[in-house]
């Protein structure tokens, strides 16, 4: 009974197949222009691609081959648009009642009030949208979307227009609501943290194509390609070659510009083969005093520049074995202070072996570092 | 005062409004939301009465309604009277020369509605018709009001087309604008002045009232 989404279209270019398991929150994550919102509009029935298939369980909503294209009202959907799109001339209650026109007039008001109460906006029924805060507008939009008791809830960047503290409340409310309603949720977002917090499944898309899909934690922890790693904000993606597999230590030895790198064993790649490897900027650490270059996973580098972002310091390093590449690292400010980190100073860094991810080689390696510059 | 002419003008404006407003809403909505090739030709055709000299429009309408045209012959066979120089012919002409005044304000008002709001209505399960009646028209009603006022006031004041198509037949096609011209021609400054003042007051009042009402749409003024 999962929601199956297959879309092929030329402009905008889309060619993807998503499978959203029933009852789960699946986030569709990608940068701006990746086709997330277009995908959602196809599921909602607001736009028909050149070809494809949208089906929920046994029900087909869109099938280009058979000329089936149900209008939005015949699809069991509730939609929370990015800027909520509340009807400005209607009160909160009337906004929700507008989704209940299929019911006799007398039954609309109690249903609307129940939906508003569920979305935690009871008491604000008589207010117009412009009299509500951003968070309240979002809740009214959610109430309107769930009023029809849809089997699929489509959320398009639903938290992007509210402040951070409100957002945390709304995250919790969405989780609670999802547990109560037991519907299939498609959450479109560009925010990885949001996807990690809310969804059990994650579909990573870019340029209208599926890059990787799977359980959220798996995708976040194990990007399968340099492209996925880059979308998942792994700052460091490089090309190396496999030296050997050490089965006793469960490690693969890589050679990266003369530096010996140990990574969790990955015997898809034979010794001598090229391989891409990635590491998050938070897992590049200043090496312990006494460590030296010859040690595994230890890289001598020079600090190119550093930027303070809140409590953290983001550093760009030139690794001495390959100064043209950029190694990104993030350290807390007090560590930076104790280590006397400064621009142009040398720094020995250690790459946490368990945090290194190996991937099939692609054109995206090494380039990611440069793309940041 | 020529009360017959005033009554006729009001009747003509009333009929024009009653027929043109619903048609204008449908046409304006189509133009505001549909995307199709050759759209600018349709829009250009609709706007033509704004730039064409009324006598040119009137001439073509006269030809189209005359006894030699198929429309004129059909009308004469069906009713026994000519279409040109009749009140019905005048209404028909009035519908055409008022098209831009009825369609454009409504079209602009519907175009100004956030497309997300229209799509939200569809996702709420509304049909296209329900979306028009429950969402678009309430949000676009200052535009509808403008269209109504402009159409009404413009019909009261139209001169050239009315003269060409209707002639100047008392009780049938002699509108207040024609009556004013006649009176002025025959040096009856008193009657011409009184009727002119009446048209001035009525036109000014309707437009001022419509501007006042147009500012009172809940919610819409404060939106982004």
Q: pLDDT by residue (tens digit) across A230-277?
A: 999 888 999 999 999 999 989 999 999 999 999 999 889 999 999 999
Ranking A150-154, A294-298, B35-39, B199-203 by mean pLDDT, the lowest is A294-298
- Cβ within 8 Å of A, B 47-66: none
Please tell me which of the candidates A46, A128, A148 has its beta carbon nearest to residue B119.
Answer: A46
B166-198 tens-digit pLDDT: 888 888 889 999 999 999 999 999 999 999 999
- Residues of chain B with C-beta less than 8 angstroms from the C-beta of A86: 117, 120
Q: Do the beta carbons of residue B106 and residue B99 sit within 8 Å?
A: no
Are A101 and B130 an interchain contact pair (Cβ–Cβ within 8 Å)? yes
Q: What percent of chain B has pLDDT over 90?
A: 59
Burial A50-86 (b: 16+ CB within 10 A, else e): eebbbbbeeeebbbbeeeeeeebbebbbbbbbbbbbb
pLDDT at A284: 92
Are B116 and A86 an interchain contact pair (Cβ–Cβ within 8 Å)? no
Q: How many CB atoms lie within 10 A of CB B13?
A: 22
- Residues of chain A with C-beta less than 8 angstroms from the C-beta of B139: 87-89
A372 has pLDDT over 60 = no
Residue of A nearest to B222 (CA): A130
pLDDT at A98: 96
Q: How many CA atoms lie within 13 A of B28 on its CB side?
A: 28
Are B117 and A87 an interchain contact pair (Cβ–Cβ within 8 Å)? yes
Q: What is the mean pLDDT of residues A29-41?
A: 92
Q: What rounded mean pLDDT belongs to chain A?
A: 90
Q: Domain locations in chain B?
A: 3-34+45-215
A132-183 tens-digit pLDDT: 999 999 999 999 999 999 999 999 998 888 888 888 888 998 999 999 988 9
Can you identify the CATH homologous superfamily of domain B3-34+45-215?
MetI-like (1.10.3720.10)
Chain A contact for B33, CB < 8 A? no
DSSP class of residue A288 equals P
Q: What's domain A226-371's architecture? A: Beta Barrel (2.40)
B223 has pLDDT over 50 = no
Q: What rounded mean pLDDT belongs to chain B?
A: 89
- Residues of chain A with C-beta less than 8 angstroms from the C-beta of B219: 88-90, 128-130
Q: Do the beta carbons of residue B144 and residue B104 sit within 8 Å?
A: no
Residue of B nearest to A85 (CA): B117
Q: What is the mean pLDDT of residues B85-96?
A: 92
Distance from CA of A164 to the nearest CA of B (A): 21
DSSP class of residue B31 equals H
CATH number of A3-221: 3.40.50.300
Please tell me which of the candidates B117, B123, B139 has its beta carbon nearest to residue A79.
Answer: B123
Q: How many CB atoms lie within 10 A of CB B43?
A: 15
pLDDT at A216: 95
Q: What is the mean pLDDT of residues B130-135?
A: 96
pLDDT band at residue B215 using 50, 70 and 90 as cut-offs? low
pLDDT at B112: 94
Q: Domain locations in chain A?
A: 3-221, 226-371
pLDDT band at residue B67 using 50, 70 and 90 as cut-offs? confident
pLDDT band at residue A50 using 50, 70 and 90 as cut-offs? very high
Separation of alpha carbons A269 and A277, rounded Å: 12
Across A61-70, A290-299, B81-90, the highest mean pLDDT is recorded for A61-70
Separation of alpha carbons B125 and A180, rounded Å: 23
Distance from CA of A206 to the nearest CA of B (A): 24
Q: How many CA atoms lie within 13 A of A220 on its CB side?
A: 16
Are A130 and B124 an interchain contact pair (Cβ–Cβ within 8 Å)? no
Q: What is the mean pLDDT of residues A42-49?
A: 94
B72 has pLDDT over 70 = yes
Q: How many CB pairs under 8 A join A and B?
A: 76
Residue of A nearest to B115 (CA): A85
Please tell me which of the candidates B119, B125, B138 has its beta carbon nearest to residue A102.
Answer: B125
Separation of alpha carbons A216 and B87, rounded Å: 74
């Amino acid at each position: 009974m999962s929601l199956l989404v297959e879309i092929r279209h030329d402009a905008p270019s889309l060619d993807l197949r998503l499978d959203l398991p029933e009852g789960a929150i699946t986030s569709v994550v990608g940068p701006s222009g990746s086709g997330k919102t277009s995908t959602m509009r196809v599921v909602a029935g607001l736009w028909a691609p050149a070809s494809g298939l949208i089906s929920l369980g046994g029900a087909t909503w869109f099938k280009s081959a058979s000329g089936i294209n149900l209008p939005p009202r015949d699809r069991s959907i509730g939609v929370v648009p990015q800027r909520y799109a509340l009807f400005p001339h209607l009160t909160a209650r009337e906004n929700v009642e507008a989704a209940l026109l299929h019911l006799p007039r007398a039954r609309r008001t109690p249903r609307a009030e129940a939906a508003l109460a569920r979305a935690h906006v009871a008491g604000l029924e008589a207010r117009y949208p412009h009299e509500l805060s951003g968070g309240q507008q979002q809740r009214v939009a959610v109430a309107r979307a769930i009023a029809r008791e849809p089997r699929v809830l489509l959320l398009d960047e639903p938290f992007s227009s509210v402040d951070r503290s409100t957002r945390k409340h709304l995250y919790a409310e969405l989780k609670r609501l999802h547990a109560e309603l037991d519907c299939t949720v498609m959450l479109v977002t560009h925010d990885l943290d949001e996807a990690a917090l809310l969804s059990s499944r994650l579909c990573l898309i870019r340029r209208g194509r599926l890059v990787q899909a799977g359980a959220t934690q798996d995708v976040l922890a194990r990007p399968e390609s340099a492209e996925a790693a880059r979308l998942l904000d792994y700052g460091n993606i490089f090309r190396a070659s496999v030296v050997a597999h050490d089965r006793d230590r469960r490690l693969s030895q890589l050679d990266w510009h003369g530096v010996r790198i140990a990574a969790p064993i990955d015997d898809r790649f034979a010794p001598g083969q090229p391989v891409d490897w990635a590491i998050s900027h938070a897992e590049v650490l200043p090496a312990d005093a006494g460590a030296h270059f010859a040690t595994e996973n230890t890289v001598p580098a020079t600090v190119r520049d550093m930027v303070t972002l809140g409590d953290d310091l983001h550093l760009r390093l030139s690794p001495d074995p390959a100064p043209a590449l950029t190694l990104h690292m993030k350290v807390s400010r007090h560590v930076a202070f104790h280590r006397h980190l400064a621009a142009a100073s040398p720094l020995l860094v250690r790459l946490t072996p368990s945090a290194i991810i190996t991937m099939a080689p692609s054109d995206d390696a090494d380039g990611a570092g440069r793309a940041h510059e | 005062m020529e009360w017959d002419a005033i009554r006729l003008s009001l009747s003509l404006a009333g009929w024009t409004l009653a027929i043109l407003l619903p048609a204008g809403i449908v046409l304006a909505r189509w133009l505001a939301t549909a995307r199709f090739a050759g759209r600018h030709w349709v829009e250009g055709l609709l706007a033509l009465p704004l730039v064409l000299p009324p006598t040119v429009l009137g001439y073509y309408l006269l030809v189209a309604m005359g006894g030699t045209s198929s429309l004129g012959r059909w009308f004469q066979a069906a009713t026994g009277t000519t279409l040109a120089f009749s009140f019905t012919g005048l209404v028909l002409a009035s519908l055409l020369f008022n098209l831009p005044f009825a369609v454009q304000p409504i079209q602009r008002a519907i175009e100004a509605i956030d497309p997300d709001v229209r799509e939200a209505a569809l996702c709420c399960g509304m049909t296209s018709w329900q979306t028009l009646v429950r969402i678009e028209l309430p949000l676009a009603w200052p535009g509808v009001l403008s269209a109504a006022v402009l159409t009404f006031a413009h019909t009261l004041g139209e001169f050239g087309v009315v003269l060409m198509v209707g002639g100047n037949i008392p009780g049938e096609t002699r509108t207040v604008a024609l009556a004013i011209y006649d009176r002025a021609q025959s040096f009856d400054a008193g009657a011409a002045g009184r009727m002119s003042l009446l048209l001035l007051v009525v036109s000014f009042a309707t437009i001022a009232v419509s501007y006042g009402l147009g500012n009172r749409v809940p919610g819409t003024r404060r939106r982004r």
